[in-house]
Amino acid sequence: MKLLFCERNALMQHDMKEALTQLGIFYRCASYVFPNPDSDDYYCSHLRSFLNEDTYDAVFSFNFIPVIADVCHDMDLPYLCWTYDAGWEFQRTDALFYPTNYIFHFDKRACESYQKSGYRNIIHMPLAANCRRLDAMPVTDAIRQEYAAKITFLGSLYEKYAVTAPDFFSSLHPEDSAALMQYVETESADYKTHDLWDHMTDAMVARINDRSSMAQQISALTLITACASMIAGRQRKTMLNAVAGSFPLTLYSNSPSALVPDADYRWRAAYYSQMPYIFRYSTINLNLTIPSIQTGMPLRIFDILGAGGFLLTNEQEELSEHFRIGTDLETFHSLEELLEKTGFYLNHPDTAAQIARNGHEAVKNQFSFEKQLRKMFSLCGLPL
């Protein structure tokens, strides 16, 4: 099989290449960073040239790109993409209906919702970890010492919306803006499942647009993304300050350090060269899933478990379908439970280390890139 891999500014690309090589699949890369994934004549022209230079069985990218789908549809080529973001980064929806698409999405409930809405070619596929690469990373005493930490959180604090609302909220009817802000405040106190996608009904979005002063219509996805960012900003600020007020917290983030003043602030970390060590040598790794993800397991969960780190995360429905809670990883349902379990595992590091080893083996056995790619190709009717 021959595959054209459309590289872009996306995570997991190096691991994808390694997996393709391991599976004996010939691939060629077409690299490009999209200023506009909805329309790009320059890229379309070059992509056609790539595809005409050789015979390919399919085209692949991470996350769905309409301009790639356009070209593949015109040339009657299967277009496979693997989505690791909860929302789309484009505006066009017409390209989602092409019969040449095979859109693999990590969130099961999102897939079910899209399929009910008529997007028949969206297929559930959890993400993966390259444990072979992660296990082979060199280890020295200096590396252990550099990255050793009691509790670590790595990620954005969504500081832009942690206190204020997005700019477009000022164009909404005051009643609608107030109702959305009240919803955000209520949801910010909930560390369990959020109902963003159910809350933003078609009738509600239509009413908001009817009363808005904006010339452009606001989509449900825009509202969901905005509310999710506000909830995440408020929750992470509250959660991390609570942890840092009682325990030693190390924070890797490009968000301002002043948001969590009691944390040991380390700036952000490189995905391939630093993050695995951070996760492996932290007694506890915290994760808080952004609320726009419904039931799915975000990439950070695979990053931590794949690196051999102990994971303490909010509960996501799909976690218990694949992992043993309390044996492969640990979950919390409230701020109080988070603090309680943080204290427990800090006092029982050997228990945390055993759970980390169990979680690593579970990811290695169930979620290798090769295993997930075999499933994808089989579902698309593409022989290895």
Look-up: residue for tokens 């968000």? Answer: 255
Rounded average pLDDT per 10-residue block, the chain, 384 residues: 92 95 95 91 94 96 96 97 85 90 96 87 96 97 97 95 87 96 94 88 95 90 93 96 98 95 94 97 97 95 98 96 98 97 98 98 98 96 87
Residue 324 CB neighbours (<10 A): 13
Residue 166: partners with Cβ closer than 8 Å, 6 or more residues away = 226, 229, 230
pTM of the model: 0.95
User: What confidence score (pLDDT) does residue 86 get?
Assistant: 80
User: What confidence score (pLDDT) does residue 164 get?
Assistant: 83
User: What confidence score (pLDDT) does residue 154 get?
Assistant: 98
Residue 75: partners with Cβ closer than 8 Å, 6 or more residues away = 48, 51
